[in-house]
Amino acid sequence: MQKFSIGSLSIPDSSAPLIIAGPCLIENRAMAVKTAEELQRISRAEGVGFIFKGSYRKANRTSGSSFSGIGDVEALEILDEIRTTYRMPVVTDVHETRDVALASRYVDVLQIPAFLCRQTELLVAAGESGLAVNIKKGQFMAPEDMALAAAKVAGTGNQRVMLTERGSSFGYHNLVVDFRGLAKMAESGYPVIYDATHSLQLPGAGNGVSGGERQYMMPLARAAVAAGVNGLFFEVHPDPSNALSDAATQVALDEFGTIVKQLLHLYRCVQSLHSL
């Protein structure tokens, strides 16, 4: 499997999963900093590395009236403050090739949203940035085809690529996770991340916003760890019910430490099986 580093983090790591976590969207500085402080506390307590996730702008909204951001530069400067203050790598989404140059100045990882995972020019631009690239699997994509998306990035000479499973469309307003897909994506040779919160979305099912079934987060996350993923992705928020984006699926920040502890224990059990 392709191995690389992001800051001080080694990917993949047999001792702990990579965890990408943070709010869906940078709503304000206070919320983002509070989240980063708690992630740093969990990191020190559990010995696990985090990449802080926050979208500086949301281009994919169910309704045109949905909140999409506080302003690109203001949000990106908050992300830059977090990576500097807390010495934690940060990741954000890019939606167009012109976004890459701007975002690259503030973050360590560029994320390609699921609906854009086939956009060749965007993938190439992200690869050419030299930053690590996390590609979300499209809800419409066969898992084995994600190797072709990764190849577009790798073709620039940038091998620091991760692939993320976030569910597949199953009729209207519903997603399912085919756990065979985790193994199929791993055959690409790139690290595989499981998105434990977006996989629970009910797209467009909430009267103009996406609904979700947060109560199934732990069973599916445990299944993904047992299946051998290299990392996990969570959207977390200090007050999910009042989040301005993805309120139905974000995890409560004050519950996240317990979640990480449980999944880390399971991850290490699974890794120990490889030595038998």
How high is the pLDDT of residue 67?
Answer: 77
How high is the pLDDT of residue 103?
Answer: 98
Residues in a beta bridge with 9: 6
- Mean pLDDT across the chain, nearest whole number? 94
273 vs 99, more confident: 99
pLDDT cut 70: percent of the chain above it = 96
How high is the pLDDT of residue 150?
Answer: 98
Q: Please say whether the beta carbons of 66 and 267 come within 8 A.
A: no
pLDDT cut 90: percent of the chain above it = 85
How high is the pLDDT of residue 68?
Answer: 78
Tell me the fold of 4-273: TIM Barrel (3.20.20)
- Condensed to tens digits (0 to 9), the pLDDT of residues 183-238 reads 999 999 999 999 999 999 888 766 666 778 899 999 999 999 999 999 999 999 99
Q: Which residue has the tokens 């949905």?
A: 66
Angle between helices 120-128 and 97-104 (to 10 degrees): 20
CA–CA distance, 47 with 44 (Å, rounded to integer): 5
Q: Which residue has the tokens 């999963």?
A: 17
Region 144-150 average pLDDT: 98
How high is the pLDDT of residue 241?
Answer: 92
- Condensed to tens digits (0 to 9), the pLDDT of residues 59-97 reads 775 666 577 789 999 999 999 999 999 999 999 999 999
Q: Please say whether the beta carbons of 62 and 56 come within 8 A.
A: no
How high is the pLDDT of residue 212?
Answer: 82
Region 145-167 average pLDDT: 98
Q: In sequence order, which residues have a C-beta less than 8 Å from that of residue 118 and are 6 or more positions away? A: 138, 141, 149
Region 233-254 average pLDDT: 94
